[in-house]
Amino acid sequence: MEQQKAATRDGYGKALLELGKQNPNVVALDADLSDSTRSEYFAKQFPDRFFSMGIAEQDMIGAAAGMAFSGKIPYASTFAVFSERAYEFVRNVVSRNRLNVKIAGSHAGIFTGEDGKSAQAIEDIAAYRALPNMVVLQPCDSVEAEKIVFALAGYKGPSYMRMHRNPVPAIHNSNYKFEIGKGEILKQGKDAVIFATGTLVHEALKAADILKNEGVNVYVVNIHTIKPLDNNLVIDLAKKTNCVITAEDHNVIGGLGGAVAETLSESYPCIMKRIGLQDKYAESGKPDELYKKYGLDAESIAEEVMRIVNKKR
């Protein structure tokens, strides 16, 4: 049942606050964007456990690393694109030492909309996925964002959680059982499989309905954990359909499409198409208009899937 729309960043803020009530070792840091990342929910309730680091992402990651060394569980948030300013700190301090730092990057992808390409992170998944020891996650709705925040509290190690600015409908309810590293089949099919992540899960579900009216039945799989990828599920559905499509609001280089292609190239080569930003920046505009222009909307996905399915036939 579809619930009221909410942004994944809202789910992050809500869960971080609840987690803070349950675990006194949880601390939060932000780089002068707590109102946008929603870490302000935590800050207002626990001002002594919240650290506003200003526009200094390197300092934020360094401080978070020190807190992790001290036994705290730090959640450090900023815009996804700005988190990359601290990439060398994340590499040499956090990931290299397997520190228990939870990085949260909001306003990811061209779904950020009117803020334009300087704020639209389309390379962050690729960057963080390349770091050893780093878990990379992207929720498709606010409920899943909440589940991820709690799951990460029980996971010891570095992680990057990708979030979005604008609200989307809820796919899940409060009974949803989330597990790091396990893909979620949302629709059954036989002609092809769409592995989608984040906002593109919604577009893939709508595309599946369009395709069904054309006599094409596709699996839709929510890949909330891009690393470690659910390789067994990817290979299994590739064998069943011999037709794989990936869909993401990210550059096709290095993102979910790259991860799936790497797995299949070594295990089960098959017909495949990566839907995403075709190695280009977008521009300022309304999210739905940008999705249509760059081929990320449901209609464009359905057209591409139909083309690939016909190719297979």
- Total-model pTM: 0.95
Percent of the chain at pLDDT above 90?
Answer: 97
Does 2 score more than 80 pLDDT? no
Q: Does the pLDDT at position 3 exceed 70? A: no
Is the pLDDT reported for residue 98 higher than 80? Answer: yes
Clarify whether 283 is annotated catalytic: no
d(CA 216, CA 168): 26
Query: 220: which 2 tokens?
Result: 């839709």
Q: Identify the DSSP state of 85.
A: G
The domain defined by 184-312 carries CATH number 3.30.1330.10: no
What is the arithmetic mean of pLDDT over 252-280?
A: 97
Does the bond joining 167 to the residue before it have cis omega, within 30 degrees of 0?
Answer: no
Tens-place pLDDT, residues 187-221: 999 999 999 999 999 999 999 999 999 999 999 99
Please classify residue 67 by burial: count the beta carbons closer than 10 Å to its beta carbon, then call 0-12 exposed, 13-18 middle and 19+ buried: buried
Encode pLDDT of 79-95 as tens digits: 999 999 999 999 999 99
**75 band by pLDDT with thresholds 50, 70 and 90:** very high
Q: What is the pLDDT of residues 137-182, one digit of tens each?
A: 999 999 999 999 999 999 999 999 999 999 999 999 999 999 999 9
Between 3-7, 21-25, 66-70, 232-236, the lowest mean confidence (pLDDT) is in 3-7
- The mean pLDDT value of the chain amounts to 97
**Same CATH fold assignment for domains 8-162 and 184-312:** yes
CA distances from 154 to 45, 59, 73, 172 (A): 22, 25, 10, 21
Q: Which of 2, 18, 40, 57 is catalytic?
A: 57
What does the alpha-carbon distance between residue 53 and residue 139 come to, in Å, rounded to a whole number?
26
Residue 256 has pLDDT above 60, yes or no: yes
The residue ranges of every structural domain in the chain are 8-162, 184-312
Is the pLDDT score of 12 beyond 70?
yes
Percent of the chain with pLDDT over 70: 99
1: pLDDT strictly greater than 50:
no
The top-level CATH class assigned to 8-162 is: alpha beta
Structure tokens at 228: 């470690």
**How many angstroms separate the Cα of 174 from the Cα of each of 16, 37, 277?**
16, 22, 32
Alpha-carbon span 82 to 165, nearest angstrom:
14
